[in-house]
């Protein structure tokens, strides 16, 4: 029976490695504690050198802090990830349908599902967008969904960031650092790559750009190069 404490991604209630984490568990056991500590220090040094920070808005002065990185990675099986991926795609489709309905038929309001006063009190609602039908019905082209795992192991969406999903930049840097710290794990395990993210982002934005305008550009810079600078 699972413990009622927080879900442990690495081991189960009997302190045995979870199926997807067996290779990682064995590798960690083979490392000397001092070697593991040295890799943690190397990660912290790399983060400081690259200036990777996040802002704590709840503190006075909006303090920037160094990005915390746990060098013990979370391992998901491909089967579990594919289920999560399918759910996220379904969720993003629902979000786009929701936004499209609010700017057009507003059936969700007439059906009593969404309170009219919530929309009227929204500072983010743009009346000028009423009646607009964007290409492919896509209003939010990029979505950053924060995932959390409950104590029973179920994965839930904590929130969706549709305006500035900047968290992806942390994910890309995390992966780069982890590949430097544990190259042997990436050689011995079939880890799904994330290196093509910027290319996929470019292709997404290019597909949505107005036709016959040539290659998408921003501020005189090629969009693909602009992405790399931003990320």
Query: So what's the pLDDT on residue 220?
Result: 42
Confidence of residue 227 (pLDDT cuts 50, 70, 90): very low
Q: HSE (CB half, 13 Å, CA atoms) of 187?
A: 6
Contact yes or no for 165/142 (Cβ under 8 A): yes
Confidence of residue 217 (pLDDT cuts 50, 70, 90): low
Q: Has residue 215 got a pLDDT over 80?
A: no
Lowest-confidence range among 62-66, 203-207, 220-224?
220-224
Residue 167 CA: distances (Å) to CA of 67, 96, 113, 153, 212: 11, 20, 31, 23, 33
Helical ranges in the chain per DSSP H: 22-30, 33-50, 78-102, 107-110, 116-120, 167-181, 183-188, 197-208, 223-230
Read off the pLDDT of residues 164-189 as tens digits, 9 standing for 90 and up: 777 888 889 999 999 999 999 888 88
Contact yes or no for 143/131 (Cβ under 8 A): no
Which residues, 6+ apart, have CB-to-CB distance to 208 below 8 Å?
134, 135, 136, 138, 141
Token pair recorded at residue 96: 């786009």
Contact yes or no for 96/140 (Cβ under 8 A): yes
């Amino acid at each position: 029976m699972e413990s009622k404490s927080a879900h442990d991604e690495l081991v189960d209630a009997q302190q045995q490695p979870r199926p997807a984490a067996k290779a990682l568990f064995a590798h960690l056991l083979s490392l000397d504690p001092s070697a593991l500590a040295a890799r943690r220090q190397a990660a912290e040094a790399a983060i400081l050198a690259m200036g990777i920070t996040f802002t704590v808005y709840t503190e006075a002065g909006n303090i920037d802090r160094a990005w915390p990185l746990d060098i013990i990675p979370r391992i998901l099986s491909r089967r579990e990830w594919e289920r999560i991926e399918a759910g996220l795609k379904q969720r993003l489709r629902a979000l786009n349908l929701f936004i499209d309905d609010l700017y057009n038929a507003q059936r969700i309001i007439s059906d009593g599902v969404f309170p009219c006063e919530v929309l009227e009190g929204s500072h983010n609602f743009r009346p000028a967008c009423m009646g607009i039908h964007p290409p492919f019905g896509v209003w939010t082209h990029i979505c950053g969904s924060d995932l959390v795992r409950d104590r029973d192991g179920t994965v839930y969406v904590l929130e969706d960031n549709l305006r500035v999903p900047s968290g992806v930049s942390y994910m890309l840097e995390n992966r780069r650092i982890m590949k430097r710290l544990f190259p042997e794990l990436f050689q011995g395990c079939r880890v799904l790559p994330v290196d093509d993210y910027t290319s996929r982002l470019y292709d997404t934005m290019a597909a949505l750009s107005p036709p016959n305008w040539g290659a998408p550009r921003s501020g005189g810079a090629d969009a693909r190069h602009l992405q790399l600078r931003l990320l």
